[in-house]
Structure 1
Amino acid sequence: MNAAQDLIERRKTLFVDGGWRAASGASRLVVTDPADKTVIAEVPASGVGDIARAAQAAARAWGDWKARTSAERAGYLRGFAEGLRARRAALVELQMRNNGKPRVEAEIDLDDAAATFDYYAGLAEGIDAAQDAPVAHAGGVHRGRVRHEPLGPVGLIVPWNFPLVTSAWKIAPALAAGCTAVLKLSEATPLAELVYGDISMEVGLPPGVLNIAAGRAEAGIAVTAAPEFRKVSFTGSNMIGSQVMAALAPRCLPLSLELGGKSAIVVLDDADVERAVDCIIGGIFFNAGQICSATSRLIMEHDIAPRLTEALVERTRALQVGGPFEDSTEMGPITTEAQFERLRETLARARSAELEVLAGGDALDREGRFIAPTIFRDVPHADPVWTEELFGPVLATATVANTEEAVALANATRFGLVGSVVSGDPERADAVADRLEAGQVWVNTPQVVYPDSAWGGFKQSGIGRELGPWGLAAYQGVKHILREN
């Protein structure tokens, strides 16, 4: 495991104004391997002053960056995609060591991040040509034109569960739009995303356009307080998202929030059982359930429930849980110690509440942060296992009499991020999908997210959308210019 070592053994971890700097925070971030809890790196933490310097650098760079042609900005974004692919082996290994992702999941992450930069490069190429779109106003006395212009310097805060991916979803559209940025990394998984600084230098990105800091909560708070920023985009928990929103409220700044979910997968009685099991397994055990889009509530119509439950439990019990470098591993460990302990507490409470366990139900008795893939049968709908985002490999099931009950139960949550439907009748499945209160719905397929799709939710799952043209628009303001004929 030497491919990633150069990315781990960094002396400087603050990227500001086009170069690496020594972070000035008083503490160090201890980065561990979740498969055995060994320390793989100690990263100097960025402090409040580092964020201030980064924000100032982004503000200085904005005038030149927004004046560049959109085609020129597109060229830099394609350079990021190429830079990621050139480092594929090292970054995949690093994701495996720092996040505990099995190899196939780490490879998916790398490919998704590179594809995102390519996609926004394509959108950027057309920005200039689309400017000054004419508007014919009623009466003909006036005529207008519309421009889509960058908001300015922005702050970007990303979580620990999908390094490279969630940051690409923010960096690529922000830079494509003509914004400059400061990226604040998770304290638990900062190593892979520091490579964006290396690539910035490699492709000759102008100094200050992208700045990167790895720090604790104080660094994140500093991002929300920096006066240079004209927008903040945050991905993470609802608890921290509300604090970000409150911090920006006095200045009435725009923000994007991609928050939590407690999403449902609805299986209708005419579904193919094996296809349904594939969709369920992928929706709750991919990345050990550490995904905001986890379909952690299984809602089954009555007639299919016995057959589906039997097949699902059999497959779940057979899942191979282990370290990412074990060839047989299908599900890896929990990335952070804090999340591991929260899951253990949740499962202990579930045992005390005497929830019926069909599979798993506890941590594995082995070194590392491993939770067994877990299924609970007929969970009461007021129980936290049914209502709260657990962020782990824990599935709650329910059986309903008909489709009406299934839709009502799926929508009976304060969240609205995603949903999933499995049915043998495509028209019936589409009708259910149309009624689910969620930002992304999969029909008869495991979860897949494309760069040109929309990502975001309803209700308490966030504000705004990432990916697709909506992700670009999130970093643009609309200017309408009116004049007499």
Structure 2
Amino acid sequence: MTWDYAPAPESAESANLKPAYRPFVNGEFTDGAGEPLKTVNPATGEVLAEVGTAAQSDVDSAVAAARRAFEKTWGPMPGTERAKYLFRIARLIQERSRELAVLETLDNGKPIRESRDADLPTVAAHFFYHAGWADKLDYAGYGPDPKPLGVAGQIIPWNFPLLMLAWKVAPALATGNTVVLKPAETTPLTALVFAEICQQAELPPGVVNILPGAGDVGARIVDHAGIDKIAFTGSTEVGKQIQRRLAGTPKRLTLELGGKAANIVFDDAPLDQAVEGIVNGIFFNQGQVCCAGSRLLVQESIADELLDKLRYRVSTLRLGDPLDKNTDIGAINSATQLAKIRELADSGEAEGAHRWTSPCPIPERGFFFAPTVFSEVHQSMRIAREEIFGPVLSVLTFRTPDEAVAKANNTPYGLSAGIWTEKGSRSLAIANRLRAGVIWANTFNRFDPAAPFGGYRESGFGREGGRIGLEAYLDV
């Protein structure tokens, strides 16, 4: 039986979209000296707004403002007072959550259901959680008097624009640091509305500064002598460049980079539950997730049955208007990313993998890619080795637990993994052998502000979230 869903669009007017947005420096919106950019709705290709960008002079001004705030107001401020500001920001995010969710969907292309039900509640939760730590740092296990590092330069990606901002800004502020943040070139809007929230919360000038722009703005932040710590989330290639630039300098660095996660399904797994976890693991946010379960490892004896169930379930996913509350798969963030996904998917077919694509209709305009599953995949294929960052799943099989572990670890990445089995002892035994920073058992893509997140090897180093994540912003 096929269900037909009537359109259930969220109103784009809820985003309170403005024709132009500007950088935020020292508590005020300023005219950036850089070349303005136009941010585009990925679902339609239409321009949403013009955004002012930062030049070197703006970076200098933002770093100077952050330094003054650190030395005169925010750094010396008692943790109990800092916590009040963080709680205030968290409540304002909740109050404006509908506006922020719609704006995120317009600018990023993700389904409104995900922006509304996943991203925004987690954004607020991170500020609430870290507000609770602000006056307890002496008891966090880092010694009797841990100190903030100073000015943190933070560079975030386009796949979770506001959530990645929260992951970085909340712990930095809770520990007494000030921030100069660069949002992604294609998704700057919610970060600049967050700047409005900082004004609403009466955050002292200079504590948070937001500089839109392309990679050159990020490079200026990385290289600036007034920055004490860099936190970067993005591609492994850019992460390596940053690491090379900072080698030999006193700046602290944390990197959260790419991934090629293995989702391992054993023959005793609850298959229907596993199928839902597989779908969530690779098709959430159109697969544009660094920890996406993009490699499915299935025990050989159940492979055919699981693939039949999986293909049927994927065929029911609804692709289309991201503002429609019924949409499961939204738009790819940019034409550049869509071209990369197509090129890698074509390589999988050319190398001999069996390609199955959902029969869902594709909108005539915008950047869309139908959910795709590759079976008969070998480890040497590009689709099994390279991060696709799109709704493309590669399926491999295994016979024994040892083979599953060997195949799962056969990657330069090490960010996440999933294990599906009814045996708790097997989950623990396999998890101990997997070289990944985050491992889920009988679920996938579960996040909590109290749980640290991060990877190994080419997935980066350092942790975000939890008590452990505070260390990245403390001199201990």
With the length of structure 1 as denominator, give the TM-score of the two structures.
0.92
Which residue of 260, 263, 266 maps to 1:262?
A: 260
**Distance apart, 1:327 and its partner CA:** 3.9
Alpha-carbon deviations, 1:15-49, whole Å to 9, x = none?
11111111110x22221111111111121221222
- Tell me the amino acid that sits aligned with residue 97 of structure 1: L
Which residue of 109, 115, 129 maps to 1:119?
A: 129
Note if contact 1:271-1:422 (Cα within 8 Å) is conserved in structure 2.
yes
What SS does the corresponding residue of 1:419 show, helix, strand or coil?
A: strand
Alpha-carbon deviations, 1:244-274, whole Å to 9, x = none?
1122124242100000000000000001110
C-alpha spacing 1:89/1:430, structure 2 compared with 1 (3 Å): same
Note if contact 2:455-2:461 (Cα within 8 Å) is conserved in structure 1.
yes
Structure with a larger share of its residues in strand: 1
**Distance apart, 1:4 and its partner CA:** 4.3
What SS does the corresponding residue of 2:380 show, helix, strand or coil?
A: coil
Which residue of 253, 270, 273 maps to 1:272?
A: 270
**Residue in structure 1 matched with residue 23 of structure 2 by the alignment:** 14
Q: How does 1:23-422 map to 2 (within 5 A)?
A: 23-25=32-34, 27-64=35-72, 65-107=74-116, 108-128=118-138, 146-360=144-358, 364=362, 366-422=364-420
**Distance apart, 1:470 and its partner CA:** 1.5
| Distance in 2 of aligned mates of 1:94 and 1:373 | 24
Alpha-carbon deviations, 1:143-185, whole Å to 9, x = none?
xxx4211011110000000011111111010011111110111
| Distance in 2 of aligned mates of 1:132 and 1:296 | 37
Note if contact 1:69-1:128 (Cα within 8 Å) is conserved in structure 2.
no
C-alpha spacing 1:132/1:6, structure 2 compared with 1 (3 Å): closer
| Distance in 1 of aligned mates of 2:296 and 2:266 | 11
How many residue pairs get aligned? The number is 464
| Distance in 2 of aligned mates of 1:392 and 1:407 | 24
What SS does the corresponding residue of 2:301 show, helix, strand or coil?
A: coil
**Residue in structure 1 matched with residue 7 of structure 2 by the alignment:** none
| Distance in 2 of aligned mates of 1:339 and 1:196 | 26
| Distance in 2 of aligned mates of 1:129 and 1:343 | 46
> Sequence identity, in percent?
39
**Distance apart, 1:209 and its partner CA:** 0.9
**Distance apart, 1:131 and its partner CA:** 9.3
Answer yes or no: is 1:454 the counterpart of 2:452: yes
C-alpha spacing 1:354/1:409, structure 2 compared with 1 (3 Å): closer
| Distance in 2 of aligned mates of 1:386 and 1:131 | 40
| Distance in 2 of aligned mates of 1:132 and 1:412 | 35
Alpha-carbon deviations, 1:286-337, whole Å to 9, x = none?
0000000001000011111111111001111221111112343111110111
| Distance in 2 of aligned mates of 1:325 and 1:175 | 33
Higher radius of gyration, 1 or 2: 1
Q: Which runs of 5+ in 2 are unaligned?
A: 1-10
Note if contact 2:140-2:467 (Cα within 8 Å) is conserved in structure 1.
no
C-alpha spacing 1:302/1:54, structure 2 compared with 1 (3 Å): same
**Distance apart, 1:73 and its partner CA:** 0.7
- Tell me the amino acid that sits aligned with residue 384 of structure 1: R
What SS does the corresponding residue of 2:247 show, helix, strand or coil?
A: helix
| Distance in 2 of aligned mates of 1:160 and 1:451 | 20
**Residue in structure 2 matched with residue 483 of structure 1 by the alignment:** none
Note if contact 1:278-1:446 (Cα within 8 Å) is conserved in structure 2.
no
